[in-house]
A and B are shown apart, each in its own frame.
Chain A
Amino acid sequence: MGQITLSSVTKVFGDVTVIPPLDLTINDGEFVVFVGPSGCGKSTLLRLIAGLEDTSSGKILIDGQDATDAAPAKRGLAMVFQSYALYPHMSVRKNIAFPLKMAGASVEEQNRKVENAARILNLSSYLERRPGQLSGGQRQRVAIGRAIVREPAAFLFDEPLSNLDAALRVTMRQEISELHQNLKTTMIYVTHDQVEAMTMADKIVVLNAGRIEQVGSPLELYRNPQNLFVAGFIGSPKMNFITGAEAAKHDCATLGVRPEHLDVVEGGPWQGVVGIAEHLGSDTFLRVHVEGIGDLTVRVSGEMGLHHGDRVSLAPQAGKLYRFDANGKAIA
């Protein structure tokens, strides 16, 4: 079981309110991703759940039990840190066995669980090595192994992939998703990378300045962002925002259109000059200077023979325009 409920949780450091009253329910077995720009309080929130920070007020319930003042070890949660936080002088085996040893498990039980975890994570041949002799991805797996053996109610991941290179990040991302499918344990994952959030999450919690902007499944957030912040944060490349006269034509303060919802067509409503064309092979990203509107990013499928200085005309796809009022709220 791993249901976590936060009710009116706040965190104040001195005069600074990092997290204003916040309510959130995380259901058993869910993969929840906290995403937001750096400094938005997502790591603090995770540390509050872990018990590494004290809440200033409010309650944290784990499986219905009040865990607000419980010691970190008593909450039945396991955490994977950004720096992995492996114990450098212990072998991989001892690192993974450490929580079991602290819990007073017998040596046979320790060995059995460590070897089981090592098998799941493909670490069996590295058990006698020190963390310093492992690559970044292997260290990451050891950190996950140390979390697995505790059989926690929920896993907490604090930006676990940010120290890895791009290729490895994709692999580890898939491995963590797969692990979640196999273990079916609640996982809370903090990241600033919306791609990680979109690809891994069952439920994304978008945070901004300690407040929850929107909670929902990845596609819900993509399709129906409730406000400008979520609209700009979810999706890559970023949504284009158009203000001024053009927005007023659509009865809104800001008009949003995603780069993939703009087509390069003959005689479209928006005329412009290509500033940059990024050719990725599968896609082409165009940065188009449109008169009276500003720069728009356009995503075109496949190869497109457009280059700097070419004139194009753009048309938004029907029904794919997002309208926001002066407060940044979406207009339905």
Chain B
Amino acid sequence: MATEHSRTAARLMVSPAVILLFLWMIVPLAMTVYFSFLRYNLLNPGMESWAGFSNYTYFLKQAAFWDALWNTLTLVVGVLIITVVGGIALALLLDQPFFGQGIVRVMVIAPFFVMPTVSALVWKNMFMNPVNGMFAHIAKFFGLQPFDFLSHAPLASIIVIVAWSWLPFATLILLTALQSLDREQMEAAEMDGANWINRFIYLTLPHLTRSITVVILIQTIFLLSVFAEILVTTNGGPGTASTNLPYLVYAQSLLNFDVGGGSAGGIIAVILANIVAIFLMRMIGKNLEA
């Protein structure tokens, strides 16, 4: 793609795909922006009228918004901490040579293939259920009172469920990074008198920073929009204890039939996600530069 001619041809060739992608993004976004300025309720169809910024002020002023914002951030940060720390630990373990390595590696990635609704239901009914769940049985075995996770610690429970499905992703990325760590560097550090803790701190962790950055960026994008796990377990409750922004938008538009308010919430969520993205790129994006 060196000459002017080939560059023009290349632009021409990719333009259909680029235009399609652009429309794909801009049409729903533009319609959401449009709806967010309408008084648009599904119970009164055909009665739409201009609402100005009232949808936004209404959405921002409700107490649930700040709860949802806080829950969203807690969920993202909580899952990130568990997956990154757990991912590093698992990757270090899986990097050791042992019998049945291949099969274990396949099994470790398995949770990632379980769809969110299914994994949340399994956790809800088979593990966390206070009567039939495994944790309840274990508690009873030790003579303890079973704990009703989803009622008394709803957000923490959801964090555990989501972290469970994302842990394999982090593990896999970090494992591949570990495998590319130069063996001679490790040996040099060993000769230099570094014990395994120092080797981990001064060699392994710096080597992993780029992969950890990738894990954090990719997971943040997906974790900001966690929805299915909440819908099938707690429905955002009790109260708003486990409502995050996507769930609040859903509740606003489809449980309260307020499309205008939901759209306004959606736009606010988009803006917040962008703020988070900019913040993240500022903070850790420099790790991605070679």
Nearest-CB residue, chain A, relative to B203: A87
Which of B188, B194, B198, B202 is the one whose CB lies under 8 Å from A81? B188
B64 to A: closest C-beta gap in Å: 45
* CB <8 Å contact, A87 and B202: yes
Number of B residues contacting the other chain (C-beta, 8 Å)? 17
> Is A52 within 8 A of B185, CB to CB?
no
Of the candidates B184, B187, B189, B209, the one whose C-beta lies within 8 Å of that of A98 is B189
Report chain A residues within 8 Å CB of B191: 50-52, 72-73, 77-79, 99
CA distance A150 to B188 in the complex (A): 13
- Residues of B close to A85: CB separation below 8 A: 182, 184-185, 187-188
CA distance A150 to B206 in the complex (A): 24
- A243 contacts partner chain B, Cβ-Cβ < 8 Å: no
Rounded to whole Å, the gap between the CB of A8 and the closest CB of chain B is 25
Q: Are B193 and A83 in contact (CB under 8 A)?
A: no
Question: Which residues of chain B have C-beta atoms less than 8 A from A81's C-beta?
Answer: 184, 187-188
A89 at the interface (CB under 8 A from B): yes
Chain A CB within 8 A of B4 CB: no
Kindly state the separation between the CA atoms of A266 and B185 in the bound complex, as whole angstroms. Answer: 60
Pairwise interchain contact B187-A52, C-beta atoms closer than 8 A:
yes
Complex Cα–Cα for A73 and B185 (A): 14
**A102 interface residue, CB < 8 Å from B?**
yes
Complex partner residue of A89 from B184, B192, B198, B206, CB under 8 angstroms:
B206
Q: Could you count the A-B residue pairs with CB atoms below 8 Å apart for me: how many are there?
A: 57
Residue of A nearest to B193 (CB): A73
Known: A83-B182, A85-B182. A103 touches B188 (CB 8 A): no
How many of chain A's residues have a CB under 8 angstroms from any CB in B? 24
Pair B184/A83 contact, Cβ less than 8 Å: yes
Complex contacts, A103 vs chain B, CB 8 Å: 193
Give chain A interface residues in 78-95, CB to chain B under 8 Å: 78-79, 81-83, 85-90
B48 lies within 8 A of chain A by Cβ: no
Q: Give the residues in chain A near B184, CB-CB below 8 Å.
A: 81-83, 85
Residue interface mask B165-208, A partner, CB < 8 A = 1: 00000000000000000101101111111100010001100110
18 contacts between A and B (CB under 8 A): A52-B187, A72-B191, A73-B191, A73-B193, A77-B191, A79-B188, A79-B191, A81-B187, A85-B187, A87-B188, A87-B202, A88-B207, A89-B209, A90-B202, A98-B192, A98-B194, A98-B202, A146-B188
Other contacts beyond A71-B190, A85-B188: 11, CB < 8 A: A50-B191, A51-B191, A73-B194, A78-B191, A79-B187, A85-B184, A85-B185, A87-B206, A98-B192, A98-B194, A102-B198
